Amino acid sequence: MRTKRLNPIVVKELRQGLKSKSFLVCFLGLQAFMVLSMSIYFMNTNSSGGLRGAEGFFWTLVGMALLFFMPLRSFFGIYNEIRNNTLELLFLTHMSSNRIAAGKWMAQAMQVLMLTSSILPYFVLRYVLGTINIAQDFRTLGILLTLSLLLLAFGTGLSAWKSKLIRFLIIGGIVFMLFWLPNVLIVFAFGGMSGILPGFAWNPLTFLLLSAVLILIFLEHGASIIAPPAENHTRPKRMLSLLLFSVLYGTGVLRNSEAWLIASIAVLFPYCLGTLSQPVSGIPSLYKRPRCLAALHGFFLPGWPSALLPVLLIIGIPVLTLHANFPRDGRYLHLFPVLFSILFLPVAILELFKVRLHRWLLFYLLIHAGTFVLGVILLIIDQIQKAMHGGDPLHTLLNLFPFTALFQMTDRASLSLIHNWIPAGLSGLCLLLMLPRTLRPMRALTRIARSPAPHHAE
Amino acid sequence: MSEPLVRVHNLTKSFGKLLAVNNVSFEIQKGQVVGFIGENGAGKTTTMRMMVTLEMPDFGHIRINGFDALNDPGEVRRRVGWMPDAYGTYDFMTVFEYLDFFARAYGFEGKEREMRVREVMEFTDLLPLADRPMNKLSKGMGQRLCLGRTLLPDPDLLVLDEPAAGLDPKARIEFKNLVRLLAAEGKTLFISSHILSELEQMCDSLLFISGGAIVHHGSSESLKNRDGQAAIVRVELAEASDKIDEWISLQPGVALLDTDNLGVRLTLENADPQSLHLLLNGLLRDGFKVSGFQRQEIRLEDAFVDILTRGNGGGGV
């Protein structure tokens, strides 16, 4: 009887991982520093200042181990299989790309749990010394552990990229998006930085739910990169994104929180970029139709035509909800065309110039980088002109560049619905014109794949 | 004739502007050992990778044991064992652990897994190396380990890409013996190699590929005895002469194959005794001091070169 109870990758990774120098150094190093930290506790039992210092040292060590050293190893998880030419051999077994990615993550997670359980005796010791609130400590440890598992999944997903440049660009892009876009949106919505978003309160359930969905998304991303072409990963990717959107948007609606609604746009924005930077490829007929979602099969094929509606909904629904619940002089309506332009302008350009499929992602990213840099230069020129001669000479031009339009929107005086709609309208028009041409080769491929294998004359 | 185990039809694959595989078609019967021969970049590995579902063809069909490689890649993978030219190693892993891991990945559990790993290790003579770290293996041992991994799921078809490349003579003989044992067990093997003489000894038929297209498919004997096949003649000269190359180039139906210190090897379009007589007479008449004149058996390499130079696609593809 053949079963698939235990993921073989977990066994292999644990066999290798526990013998690796990096794990041994991390494990033994942490134990040594823990002993040192306990000595500091013993020496400062009568000094509250000294205890606070020991406490800081203790949590810094735990944080470094869980949030830095262990996740760092995950960035080589799948990459090692690619480098060693072993990935293809795994695909010829019964392993799917999802099992490989999940196995890598689970093995790393087990090592993190091992490391965490090895420091539990020091918690007990600190409790005996009477220096801690045990409930508070375990809560903090739980948060650190969850974040560590999240980072492991992020590293594992990213390790599927062979190119270091792409890995670097993705990390940079996500960090940039997650810091810059929410900041712009906060400034845009509330007219200034208040440090913390109003109404942006966490609860453990939302935190755990969000972490779980993000872990699945990161692992799915890694699996989709290494998967053979016949595996359609667009479906699970879009389903998971829908789940993430539901959690964020649902929290926003239930709490009537402007901040959570803004977060649903900001967090899903990298996903929208990802799905639109995916070229229209593959043979749709090869992809099995899910029984329960057969009618929606067309929305789960790779490429921008099938992503058009989901992306419009992911941006449109929160924007409309924000506009309905928090009118703010109709400011949120301006967001839609600008975000639409940012997402779809490169697609329109790529379709117009018939860029080859395998260069699609690179050019998509380059167009974004190019328009961003150009926009920033124009913005600087505009600011210099404004300072020297007054007025706003490049105002109209700036509104035509998606990223600078977003900058401009933070300035209440610059809101211009007409200007913001120009690039969005142009992109939309291009996409509509290109849609039939894009779908034509997909139909041809479907016909070829569906035709029966020819019979040989013996 | 029974249903072939492998049926490849009009297989085509391009990488950008490079047409790597061009309209390739062939069939392999169950239990056959087929050699796949071609120069570097001829399209051997690409064809093999498409057969084992690691590449998608641009056009064409591959059926393995009745299953389509495009529409049923999972079923095809269950029936095919793939041994690439370069196998990857894992750090901190022994020979046993490597095979055990792949046995798990193939879905073997418990006692069944232990038995299968042991069987494969016995067959490939890896039992004495069970606890050796796999990155400390010699090339020959590594190839045996790689073959062992390929054999774990007991596939119908074994696709071996340059399995003897880089092996020393002893390891090569050992490997050849393993292939013979597999053939005796009734396995179907599809082997690519540059070492034509070895393939000639191991294979029932040979498949020649050049520039992405099949140029011959048949047994080594049928290749050597093709209609219009050139005769090979070795001429030894008592005194080396610079003029021999030029002389040969002026003779109709004669071409220089190779030269060495003692003489030259020639190919003759017509292998009848009259042509041989005329050639020898011509050499003596023009002052070459011939010390030896011998008709030689055609080697597989010569036949292959002959096919390539003539661009002749004969044979039973």
Please report the DSSP string for A342-369 in residue order. Answer: HHHHHHHHHHHTT--GGGHHHHHHHHHH
Q: Global pTM?
A: 0.78
| Mean local confidence (pLDDT), B80-86 | 89
Residue A96 structure tokens: 């799917």
A329 touches B at CB < 8 Å = no
Give the span between the Cα atoms of B60 and B72, in whole angstroms.
Answer: 15
State yes or no: pLDDT of A13 exceeds 70.
yes
pLDDT, tens digit, 9 for 90 and up, residues A315-360: 889 989 988 888 877 778 777 777 887 788 787 788 777 776 667 7
pLDDT, tens digit, 9 for 90 and up, residues A200-258: 566 788 889 999 999 999 999 999 889 876 677 888 888 888 899 899 899 889 888 88
Contact flag B9-A453 (C-beta cutoff 8 Å): yes
pLDDT, tens digit, 9 for 90 and up, residues A252-281: 898 888 888 888 887 787 777 777 766 665
Contact flag B92-A93 (C-beta cutoff 8 Å): no
Sequence-distant (≥ 6) Cβ neighbours of residue A295 within 8 angstroms: none
Residue B88 confidence (pLDDT): 80
Residue B102 confidence (pLDDT): 94
Q: In terms of Cα–Cα distance, which of B309, B276, B107 is closest to B208? A: B309
Residue B309 structure tokens: 């130079």
Counts of helices then strands in chain B (DSSP H, E): 11, 14
Contact flag A89-B59 (C-beta cutoff 8 Å): no
- Contacts of residues A95-99 at CB distance under 8 Å and 24 or more positions apart, as own/partner, are A95/A8, A95/A9, A95/B105, A96/A223, A96/A227, A96/A231, A97/A223, A97/A224, A97/A226, A97/A227, A97/A228, A97/A231, A97/A233, A98/A219, A98/A220, A98/A223, A98/A236, A99/A7, A99/A9
State yes or no: pLDDT of A450 exceeds 60.
no
State yes or no: pLDDT of B95 exceeds 50.
yes
Residue A196 confidence (pLDDT): 46
pLDDT, tens digit, 9 for 90 and up, residues A364-418: 778 878 887 887 888 788 778 878 877 666 666 666 666 666 666 666 555 566 6
| Sheet of B6-15, strand order | B18-28, B6-15, B59-64, B67-68
Q: Which residue has the higher pLDDT, A363 or B43?
A: B43
- CATH number of the B6-224 domain: 3.40.50.300
Residue B83 confidence (pLDDT): 92
Tell me the pLDDT of chain B averaged across its residues: 85
State yes or no: pLDDT of B159 exceeds 50.
yes
Distance from CA of B111 to the nearest CA of A (A): 10
Name the one residue in this structure whose structure tokens are 């967001």.
A335
pLDDT, tens digit, 9 for 90 and up, residues B103-118: 999 989 889 999 999 9
Mutation choice for B interface testing from A24, A93, A285 by most B CBs within 10 A: A93
Q: Which residue has the higher pLDDT, A147 or A198?
A: A147
Contact flag B88-A93 (C-beta cutoff 8 Å): no
| Alpha carbons within 13 A on the beta-carbon side of B283 | 26
| 3-state SS, residue B189 | strand
Give the span between the Cα atoms of A74 and A155, in whole angstroms.
Answer: 5
Residue A283 confidence (pLDDT): 53
Q: Quick count: other Cβ atoms within 10 Å of Cβ A135?
A: 8
Give the span between the Cα atoms of B113 and A232, in whole angstroms.
Answer: 31
Phi and psi at B64, nearest 5°, equal -115, 120
Name the one residue in this structure whose structure tokens are 């709490």.
A255
Element (H, E) at B13: strand B6-15
Residue A1 confidence (pLDDT): 42
Q: Which residues pair with B18 in a beta bridge?
A: B15
Phi and psi at B94, nearest 5°, equal -90, 170
State yes or no: pLDDT of B246 exceeds 60.
yes
Give the span between the Cα atoms of B226 and B238, in whole angstroms.
Answer: 34
What are the CA-CA distances from residue A416 to residues A164, A378, A412, A423, B18 (Å)? 41, 18, 9, 12, 51
Residue A286 confidence (pLDDT): 56
Contact flag A84-B88 (C-beta cutoff 8 Å): yes
Contacts of B69 in chain A (CB under 8 A): none
CB B85 within 8 A of CB B161: yes
Name the one residue in this structure whose structure tokens are 């339009």.
A405
Q: Does domain B231-297 have CATH number 3.30.43?
A: no
| Mean local confidence (pLDDT), B271-283 | 85
Contact flag A230-B80 (C-beta cutoff 8 Å): no
Residue A159 confidence (pLDDT): 93
Give the span between the Cα atoms of B215 and B317, in whole angstroms.
Answer: 8
What is the share, in percent, of chain A residues with pLDDT greater than 90? Answer: 16
In angstroms, the first-to-last Cα distance of chain A is: 40
Distance from CA of A89 to the nearest CA of B (A): 8
Say if strands B263-268 and B231-237 run parallel, antiparallel, or are unpaired: antiparallel
Per domain, the residue ranges of chain B are 6-224, 231-297
State yes or no: pLDDT of B34 exceeds 50.
yes
| Mean local confidence (pLDDT), A303-307 | 78
CB B199 within 8 A of CB B37: yes
pLDDT, tens digit, 9 for 90 and up, residues A188-197: 666 554 444 5
Q: In terms of Cα–Cα distance, which of A224, A268, A274 is closest to A244? A: A268
How many Å is the Cα radius of gyration of chain A? 26
State yes or no: pLDDT of A445 exceeds 60.
no
Contacts of A81 in chain B (CB under 8 A): 88
Name the amino acid, one letter, at B306: D
Query: Count of A–B CB contacts within 8 Å?
Result: 97
| Confidence band, pLDDT 50/70/90 cuts, at residue B315 | very low
pLDDT, tens digit, 9 for 90 and up, residues A129-160: 766 778 888 888 999 999 999 999 999 999 99
Q: Which residues pair with B294 in a beta bridge?
A: B234
Contact flag A454-B10 (C-beta cutoff 8 Å): yes
